[in-house]
Structure formats: structure tokens, C-alpha cells
Chains A and B, each alone.
Chain A
Amino acid sequence: MVAVIIITSLCMVSVYISYVAFRKGFTKSADDYFVEGSSLGYFVLIFSLLASFLSAFSMFGMASFGYRLGFGSLYVLTANLVPLGFLWYFMHKKTFLLGRSRKWMTMGAPFGERYGTPMKIVLVMVVLVASIPYIVAQIQGIGVMLEAMSEGIISFHVGLFFVPFFIALYLMMGGMKGAAWVNAIQGVFFSIMVFVLFFFVMMKNGGFVPTMEMVLAKHPNLFQLGWAGGKVWNYPMVFGMAAAMCLGCVCFPQPYMHAYSSRSARGLKAMFLSFGGICLVIITMPTLVGIAGTIIVPGLTGVQSDKIYGLVASASMPDWRAAFAVAGGFTAAMSTVNGLVFGNAANLSVDIFKTFRPQTKSSELINISRVFVAIIMAVCVAIAWNPKTPVAELSIIAFGTVAVTFFALWGAYYWKRATATGAIFSTLVGVSLNVTFFFVGGKAMVLFPQKAFFQLNGFLTAFIISGIVFFVGSYLTQPGKTERESLKLFFHPILTK
């Protein structure tokens, strides 16, 4: 129970920090609540963005992935995210510049101004659909880990309510100002705890190289590409997962919200660049911890293997240190749920509610946003009740689904001929295909290469078809009044650098 007490204390600290931010009066208007009045500096931006993405997936999920599938897992969330340094810069430079000038607050704003209200609404709904499996992954990961750390005293189902309750509480009180600061502190905390856990786990068997040699002797396939008769980590599988994660990161709400929150161009660039570099180091460690776990806690399968991060910590460290290490994973999960639930609640209240009721006051918007936070959390807990898919797979499905908005975003900023019809159809077709693949062929159809798709996985197939629909749809239709008028702003000559 030491672990549970430490984790509870940590949640209390998060609530307190958010409450202080709220009481100090940082959150006065909707602008402050949603994007912090474009006031965040380097440190908070970098660690807040990091913490809003890194999650139960990156800690518990990647350890579980490494445990089950070996070194190929490094292609899911480490070096494959380094390209985000330039991808985010090119895709969100205009988000930053236009967002400052137009006072944008949500990710639907650029789509609304470029393509019109219908696209803005489609986008909000698509991002919500894609976010749900990812939020469920965090809640599920937390429930599984609480059960493991309390040695069954706290059941999985009780665990599902534990951290979401705290997250909803401080999110409703502090808005993004509190959330960003809490995220940043949590980002620093879990980064340190990952190093500590890695050190202790590897030292248990005499260091990193001796540990890996022991794993190699017992599980040589974990060191190979194309094992299980070429089915696991063949090149199409590696490419499909690496691309899904990276492109999904471009399209989730977090980079939009953080671009709006950036105080300077230098801060924006530092934030985008640092993310991939930090992931390269930080996420490699839980993956390697999971691989080492195969000789420390053998025999876990399926959803149960999501416990490996906590079990290997308990087996390698004294109780209180193990609790701190696992609490690092909890903070990662909390900050991600925080960022995603907040982002979606803001999208729903500003992009949909205010569109249909423009006279809504700023203070009313904040209250509506709080209601959406509560609804999203409740839905996700209900879905997580019967876990069937491990945390890592749930998260990759979420990233793959949201990636289909990539073309609409690129067209908004870089292709004058892009039309609302092309953008709407490409997004709807892409998401529908992802959802259909999941319900027809399960997670295997979305994640693993399929003969019917020329050895591409479901995600890449949906992504490519979505791109084709975007270009064909835009060429076959004429830009309307909104698209034509938006060119003055989105393609202003001053934005060429």
C-alpha cells in the first residue's frame, strides 16, 4: 500500500498546483483558460508538450510492447518521432503565426477559417473519436497498474476511477494555465524516474550489456526483425507503426494548443525540436526495461503484460523507490489525459457550441467546457471497464486514426487549390476506413500488414486513400467563397519564410 499512498499524494500535489494557479487569478478570461494568453516560456512549453503526449502508453505500454515484441518496439515511439522537429515546424508554423494574429483558441479554428464551419465540425468530431481509444488506454493502464502495485487490494475497476477523478478536479479548477504548469512538473518528474528505474533494473543483473546478453540467450527472437516466420517486425509492419505514430502526433490537438500558447518563435522552435530528442532518450528506457523484464518477471501475456513496468520495479527496488518509479508513469498518464480531455472539451465548446450559439459569454464557455470534460471522462471509464486490447495497441490505433486529417491541414496552409469538399471527404473516408477495419478485422487489421492491402497495414491504407480522396476531391470541385477569401490570410506573402 506504500505505492498507493505515494501515488495518492502525488495526485493531491497536482490538484494543489492547479488550484494555486487558479486562485492567483491566471485564469480570468476564456483566452487565459484555453491558451494562456500566448504567455508560456521555453521550460513550461517543452515539458508541457512532452508530458501531454508521453503517457501510460510511453511508460507502461512501451515496457509491455518491449516485453512481448522486443527491440522492434523502438520503431514505435523513439527515433521515429525525431522527424517531428521539422514536421511540426513546417505544419504548425502558420498555426503559430495566424493563431497569434487571429486569436485562435482551438484546433478547429484554422480549418473553420480556411474551409468553413462544416469542416470545423467534422474535424472536432474526428479528433474526439480518435482521442477516445488513447484516453481509454491511459485510464486502463492506470487501473491495471494500481491493481498490481496494491497487490490486488485496489481492484482494476476501482482503479479506473482513481486518477480520472483527480484529473477532472484540477482540470476543471485551473484550465490550461494550471494544466500546463502541472504538465511541466510531471514531465520533469517522470523523466527523472525513468532514469532511476532503468538504472536499478539493469544493475540487478550486472549492467545493461550483461542483462541483454541474458535476454538474448533466453529469447533470441526479441533481438530480431521479421521473426515468427516473418510476421513480427517485418519492414511493412515497422514502417506502418513508425509512420502512424509520427503523423498522428502532427494531427492531435496538443501541438495546436501549444503553438497558440508559445510566447516567441524561438520558444516554438525549441519546443518542437526538443520533443523528438527527449523521446529518443526517455522512451527508449521503458522499452529496454520491458525487454529486461522477460528474465525478471517471465510469463505475462496480453493485457496482463501491461503490469510489467510496475512488477519489474517492485522486483528491482525497495518498495518506496518502486512506488516513485511507477508514480512517474502515473504522472505521464495523468498529464496526457489532462491535455487530451482539455483539448477536446475546448474544441466541443468553442468550435461547436459557440458556432451554433455565438452569443455565448466567455464565462459560460468555461462552464460548458467543464461539463464536456466530465462527459468525456465518464465515457472513457465506461469503455475501459472490459479491457481486451493492451495499452500500446489502443494508442497506436488512436494515432493512426487522427493522422487522416494530415492532408486537410497541409492543404489549408500550403495548397491554394484545396477545397472544403476535398478536405471533408478525405477526413470522413479516412476515419470511416480505420473504424471499419477495426470492427471487421480487429486490431490486427489496423496494425499489421495485410495481403489484401499489398502488405500495408489498415492505417497506411486508410491514410493513402484519404490522401487520394483529398486531391481528387479538390480537383473535381471549385473553391467556394470561404476558401477563396481565406487565401488572403493563409497565403499572405509575408508568410513565405
Chain B
Amino acid sequence: MNGVYRKQKEKYHFFNLIFLILFFVLTLFCWCPIGYGSYGEVGLIMGMPSWAFIMLLIGATLFVIEWIYLFGTDLALYDEDLEKITDALEQVTAKETIGEEN
């Protein structure tokens, strides 16, 4: 049982790490034109400088990946978990209150 739980946890951390790396790299591209921009004159794509067009495209890609992370995987928080979490946190609060009263 412990082995299965450990494997699940390792899988969770692995996929979380993959998403974090993707988020980090794409954020860097959204914040700076490294690798796709250049100083001076550039060609146009649909009336925009090529780097501006690529930047908007990278933004759209990051949006889709965030969507997948938040709604298409079991890595993020879901409403089914909420009750359990709230109960556990309220127990801590209740213990604190009892401790203070004593």
C-alpha cells in the first residue's frame, strides 16, 4: 500500500515539475524577447513586428498550458477536496481555541 502511495506521490511531483519548468520558460519569453526579438528593423506579420506577433502567440500558448494544468490534470485543487481540507483546518483552529481556554 505504501509503495503504491509513494509511486503516486512521485508521479505527482514529476508532472508538477514538468509544468513548473514549462511555466518558467514561457514566462521568461512573455517578459523578454530573448531568442525571438532583435534591435532595429524587423519584418511584419499581420501588420505587427514579428517579435510582437510571436510574443502574443507565446502568451496564448502559456494560457492553454495553464488551462491544462488547472482543469485537465489532477495536480490542481478541486471542489471535491474542499470539504476535507476545510474540516482539517477547522480542527486545528478548534484545538487552538481549546488550548487558549485552558
Show the binding face of A for B, using Cβ within 8 Å: 71, 74-75, 78-80, 82-83, 85-86, 89, 93, 97-98, 100-102, 208-209, 211-213, 216, 220, 223-226, 230, 234-235, 238-239, 242-243, 246, 264-266, 268-269, 272-273, 276-277, 280, 284, 485, 488-489, 492, 494-495, 497
Contacts and interface: CB of A to CB of B under 8 A. Distances in A.
Contacts of A492: 88-89, 92
A93 to B, nearest CB: 6
A100 to B, nearest CB: 6
Nearest to B57: A79
B48 A71 contact: yes
A489 B92 CA distance: 7
Given A234-B39, A269-B70, A82 B77 contact: no
A495 B85 contact: yes
Nearest to B49: A223
Given A239-B32, A276-B63, A280-B60, A497 B77 contact: yes
A211 B40 contact: no
Interface of B: 19, 23, 26-27, 30-34, 37-42, 44, 46-49, 51-52, 55-56, 58-60, 62-63, 66-67, 69-71, 75-79, 81-82, 84-86, 88-90, 92-93, 96
A102 B23 contact: no
27 contacts: A74-B56, A75-B31, A79-B55, A83-B62, A85-B62, A85-B63, A93-B77, A97-B77, A102-B89, A213-B44, A224-B41, A225-B49, A225-B51, A226-B40, A230-B39, A239-B32, A265-B78, A269-B76, A273-B67, A276-B63, A488-B96, A489-B89, A492-B89, A492-B92, A494-B84, A495-B85, A495-B89
Task: Output the residue of B47, B71, B85 with the most chain A CB within 10 A.
Answer: B47
Contacts of B33: 75, 225, 235, 238
Contacts of A78: 55-56, 59
Contacts of B55: 74-75, 78-79
Contacts of A280: 56, 59-60, 63
A100 B86 contact: yes
Q: For the complex, would chain A's binding face be called helix, strand, loop or mixed by DSSP majority?
A: helix
A370 to B, nearest CB: 30
Given A82-B62, A101-B86, A89 B49 contact: no
A79 B30 contact: yes
A384 B63 CA distance: 37
Contacts of A235: 32-34, 37
Contacts of A226: 39-40
A224 B90 CA distance: 56
A272 to B, nearest CB: 8
Given A224-B42, A269-B71, A273-B67, A101 B90 contact: yes
Contact of B59 (A79, A98, A212, A213): A79
Given A71-B48, A277-B63, 8 more contacts: A74-B55, A83-B26, A97-B82, A101-B93, A230-B39, A238-B31, A239-B32, A492-B92
Nearest to A226: B39
Given A83-B62, A266-B78, A489-B92, A225 B37 contact: yes
A277 B44 CA distance: 24
B66 A223 contact: no
A92 to B, nearest CB: 11
Nearest to B69: A86
Contacts of B34: 235
Contacts of B49: 71, 223-225
A98 B82 CA distance: 11
A487 B53 CA distance: 46
B97 to A, nearest CB: 12
Contacts of B47: 208-209, 211-213
A276 B70 CA distance: 14
A265 B59 contact: no
Contact of A242 (B30, B52, B84): B30
A85 B70 contact: yes
Nearest to B30: A79
A233 B70 CA distance: 33
Given A238-B31, A238-B32, A239-B31, A224 B89 contact: no
B44 A216 contact: yes
Contacts of A79: 30, 55-56, 58-59, 62
B74 to A, nearest CB: 9
